[in-house]
């Protein structure tokens, strides 16, 4: 498929380029010292992760530890309730070990750390989901794990903090500034700079400086590879549309990567939260502008000083003022359509999927479910594959407290 001079037949060979650019987005904007440390990860990625030994070991782990492949489920009752013949399907990343897609890249990153001879993995976490996945991977490989987390987030996310500690990770409280994700990112970068001889930094989405958007996409592409084969096996054809929620964009890049060169409409769904006012949503691709933050160039939501704006979403995993550079690129090229779903629509979908299919989705994933339902109503025929990025056990108390039982 050709679109605006981009050939999707050979897309993965050329995007990103050698410097980590997807068109004008991506790259690596770091101090020279930090760049040197990052170059070590980049070089290791291109040698170690392409080796047959690494790939074979990761495959074995995916099967024996993570429980992959995850299935695709036909959402029959939900499809019937729409009633126009459109069939909805879900790729069940909620059934991946730890209950979400994040372990797909964390196992890859921690295996890379092991092959590089590092003793420790370092990361920041906001809601704690990335911290839990990385702590799981670190326990599996016998690595130390330092997770930087804002003091405000530590208070809000007690169950995930407990999980990380049980798994043996050190949760390091960050107490400056607003004491949330942005400060935690800075603290984790600082720690990596100090400890890069014995540790590697592990980012939690298709974000950050090169090579992370590439590396995390590659580790997540297992979702799209499995999904394409499974869907064709189940139905004899490709889906007409694929839908995923976009925070940083890793679960979306995972499933999208399986279908970029196919005649399939692809939709990335951002959180519209309470509405279109800056501060009430986290729809960076829809409402943001080009800018550099956390070491990469992408589309971001900015405040009046050009700094990353405060953002909000009912789903803490989608609560980030930018998105991966590859999404900014795919939007510009027109290969992926980005749209939004608000809190209300999300909570409705959360209950619909629970009641009609017996699957309690993560609130993040419920954004994709809500859009899938809307799209089905509009399409009138065909099939839609939704990436169900995670399970909703972590969200149940919050939903009942704030929205009641519907």
Indicate which residues carry an active-site annotation: 102, 124, 389
Instruction: Determine, following the binding rule CB under 6 A, whether residue 97 of this chain makes contact with ligand PLP.
Output: no
**Shortest separation between residue 215's beta carbon and ligand PLP, angstroms:** 13
- Cα 259 to Cα 24, 98, 99, 253, distances in angstroms: 23, 26, 24, 10
Phi and psi, residue 377, nearest 5°: -60, -35
Q: What is the DSSP string of 64-96?
A: III-PSPPEEEEHHHHHHH-SS-EEEEEEGGGS
In the complex, the smallest distance separating the C-beta of residue 205 from ligand PLP, rounded to whole angstroms, is 3
Nearest approach, Cβ of residue 64 and ligand PLP (Å): 23
Stretch that binds ligand PLP, among 20-28, 280-288, 358-366, 369-377 (CB under 6 A): 358-366
Site for ligand PLP in 231-250 (CB under 6 A): 245-250
Chosen residue from 147, 222, 318, 340 binding ligand PLP by CB under 6 A: 318
Considering the rule CB under 6 A, would residue 205 count as an interface residue with ligand PLP? yes
Q: Select 86 or 385, whichever has its Cβ closest to ligand PLP.
A: 385
Query: What is the C-alpha R_g of the chain?
Result: 20
Q: Which of residues 122-141 bind ligand PLP (CB under 6 A)?
A: 129
| Piece of 18-26, 181-189, 232-240, 360-368 that binds ligand PLP (CB under 6 A) | 360-368
Are 383 and 236 a contacting pair, CB within 8 Å?
no
What 3-state class would DSSP assign to 12? helix
Residue 133 CB, shortest distance to ligand PLP, in Å, is 8
3-state secondary structure of 304: coil
Q: Is 83 exposed, middle or buried (0-12, 13-18, 19+ CB in 10 A)?
A: exposed
Q: How far is the CB of 362 from ligand PLP (least distance, A)?
A: 4
Nearer to ligand PLP, 93 or 332 (CB): 93
User: Would you count residue 104 as binding ligand PLP (CB under 6 A)?
Assistant: no
Exactly one of 92, 102, 114, 118 binds ligand PLP (CB under 6 A); that residue is: 102
Nearer to ligand PLP, 199 or 203 (CB): 203
Which residue number is nearest to ligand PLP in terms of Cβ? 390
Q: Which of 96, 102, 98 lies closest to 63 in space, CA to CA? A: 96
Tell me if residue 150 falls in helix, strand or coil.
strand
* Residue 183 interacting with ligand PLP (CB under 6 A): no
Interatomic CA distance for residues 213 and 28, integer angstroms? 11
Stretch that binds ligand PLP, among 61-69, 150-158, 255-263, 357-365 (CB under 6 A): 357-365
CB 10 within 8 A of CB 194: no
Decide whether 110 or 246 has the Cβ nearer to ligand PLP. Answer: 246
Output the CA–CA distances (angstroms, integers) from residue 276 to 3, 10, 56, 281, 298, in the order listed.
Answer: 30, 37, 46, 7, 20
H-helix or E-strand containing 147? strand 144-150
Strand order in the sheet with 120-124: 170-174, 144-150, 120-124, 199-201
State yes or no: residue 389 binds ligand PLP (CB under 6 A). yes
Report how far Cα 162 is from the mean position of its chain's Cα atoms: 22
Size of the site for ligand PLP (CB under 6 A): 19
Q: Which of 49, 100, 174, 191 binds ligand PLP (CB under 6 A)?
A: 100
Residue 87 vs 160, nearer CB to ligand PLP: 160
Task: Write the DSSP symbol of residue 308.
Answer: B
Letters for 364-383 (x = contact with ligand PLP by CB under 6 A, - = none) are xx------------------
Q: Where are the beta strands (DSSP E) in 211-315?
A: 241-245, 265-273, 289-293, 296-300
Least separation, in Å, of the C-beta of 231 and ligand PLP? 20
Question: In the complex, which residues of this chain contact ligand PLP (CB under 6 A)?
Answer: 100, 102, 129, 205, 245-252, 317-318, 362, 364-365, 389-390
């Amino acid at each position: 498929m050709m679109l605006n001079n981009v050939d999707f037949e050979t897309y993965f060979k050329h995007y990103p380029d050698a410097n980590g650019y997807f068109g004008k987005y991506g790259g690596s904007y770091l101090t020279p010292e930090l760049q040197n440390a990052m170059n070590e990860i980049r070089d290791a990625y291109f040698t170690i992760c392409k080796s047959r030994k690494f790939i074979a070991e990761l495959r074995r782990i995916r099967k024996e530890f993570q429980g992959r492949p995850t299935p695709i489920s036909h959402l029959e009752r939900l499809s019937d309730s729409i009633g126009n013949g459109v069939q909805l399907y879900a790729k069940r990343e909620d059934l991946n070990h730890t209950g979400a897609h994040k372990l797909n890249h964390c196992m890859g990153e921690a295996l890379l750390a092991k092959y590089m001879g590092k003793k420790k993995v370092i990361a920041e976490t906001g809601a704690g989901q990335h911290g839990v996945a990385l702590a799981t991977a670190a326990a599996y490989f016998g690595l130390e794990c330092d997770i930087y987390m804002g003091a405000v987030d530590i208070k809000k996310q007690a169950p995930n903090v407990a999980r990380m500690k049980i798994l043996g990770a050190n949760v390091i409280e960050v107490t400056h500034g607003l004491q949330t994700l942005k400060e935690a990112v800075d603290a984790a970068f600082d720690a990596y700079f100090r400890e890069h001889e014995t540790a590697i930094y592990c980012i939690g989405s298709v974000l950050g400086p090169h090579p992370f958007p590439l590396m995390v996409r590659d580790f997540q592409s297992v979702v799209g590879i499995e999904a394409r084969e499974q869907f064709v096996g189940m139905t004899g054809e490709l889906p007409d549309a694929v839908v995923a929620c976009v925070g940083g964009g890793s679960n979306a890049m995972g499933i999208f990567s399986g279908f970029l060169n196919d005649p399939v409409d692809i939709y990335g769904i951002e959180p519209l939260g309470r509405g279109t006012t800056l501060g009430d949503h986290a729809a960076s691709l829809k409402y943001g502008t080009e800018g550099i933050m956390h070491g990469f160039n992408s589309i971001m939501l900015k405040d009046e000083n050009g700094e990353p704006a405060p953002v909000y979403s009912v789903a803490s995993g989608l609560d980030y003022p930018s998105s991966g550079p590859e999404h900014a690129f795919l939007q510009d090229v027109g290969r992926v359509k980005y749209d939004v779903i608000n809190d209300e629509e999300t909570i409705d979908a959360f209950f619909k999927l629970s009641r009609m299919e017996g699957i309690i989705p993560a609130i993040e994933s419920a954004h994709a479910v809500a859009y899938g339902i809307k799209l089905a109503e509009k399409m009138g025929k065909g099939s839609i594959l939704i990436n169900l990025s995670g399970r909703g056990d972590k969200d149940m108390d919050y939903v009942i407290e704030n929205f009641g039982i519907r």
